[in-house]
Amino acid sequence: MNRYGATIEVVASGAKYHTWSDWSLTITNGAPIGDPEQETNYITVPGRSNLLDASEALTGDVVFKGRPINMQMAICGNPLMFDHVVSQIRNKVDGRKVKITFDNDRSHYWLGRINVKENARTARLGTFTLSAYVDAYKHEAASSQEKLKWDDMNFLTDCLRYIGTITVTNSYTLVIPKGDHAVVPVIRVSNITSQTFSMSVVGTGTAYTLVSGANRFPELKVCGDEDVTLSFDGSAKVTVDYRGESL
């Protein structure tokens, strides 16, 4: 039997379970990840033919609600153990918010709430569905402040984003690689020793004065279609914290 599976991590406790290694379950359906559900907004305007599409009016970009994941699970073995296995899975993950990492994409995870559904048993084969409603975008396993494990990295498609803590003395230039979906970084500053500490976005003319603690500017986004270059002026320690996403 194919041993393709997924790791399920309970967000609240950090407990991790692998569908095959821990439960002897394999995913039998080839495409368990469903399509993203777009949030649309069509407005009826009196005297106008056709509806007015205002789906991107608020953010200027496409917005998605989420997407379903349905993993059809099968277990071969003693039929008397099937109900026990399903019960144990319910005890550990059913109804909980989890991170789901599939074996064929270990550098990303899906975040949502999971349920056990559709139990069935035929002879020695027991089946059921692990169903989850997750964020539309999968999240990179490692943020810019976390090191991605080499064994989890796809060298053909993944991007190394680790930055860590930067010590700025007078000036420092940081290039953040492009990605698939723009996100807003959190810029944490400590140990300011200069009179002021500022940051500018190279090529845009946009500049910010940074203060000690967390700084977040909703209009500043990284991981979009182009690299973003940040220039820091002053003396301090800085972390630029963000996590890439992709549909």
CA 97 – CA 247 distance, rounded (Å): 20
Portions of the chain given CATH number 2.40.30.200: 6-136
CA 247 – CA 242 distance, rounded (Å): 17
CATH number of 6-136: 2.40.30.200
Q: What is the pLDDT along the chain (247 residues), one digit of tens a residue?
A: 556 899 999 999 999 999 988 888 889 888 999 999 887 777 777 877 777 766 666 666 778 889 999 999 888 666 677 788 889 999 999 999 999 999 999 999 999 999 998 776 666 677 889 999 999 999 999 999 988 887 777 777 777 889 999 999 999 999 999 999 999 999 999 999 999 999 999 989 899 999 999 999 999 999 999 999 999 999 999 999 999 999 9
At the top level of CATH, which class does the domain 159-246 belong to?
mainly beta
Q: In angstroms, what CA-CA distances link 10 with 32, 96, 114, 162, 205?
A: 19, 7, 10, 25, 43
Give the single-character DSSP code of 79.
Answer: G
Portions of the chain given CATH number 2.60.120: 159-246
Task: Give residue-wise pLDDT tens across range 112-165.
Answer: 999 998 776 666 677 889 999 999 999 999 999 988 887 777 777 777 889 999
Q: Which amino acid is at 184?
A: V
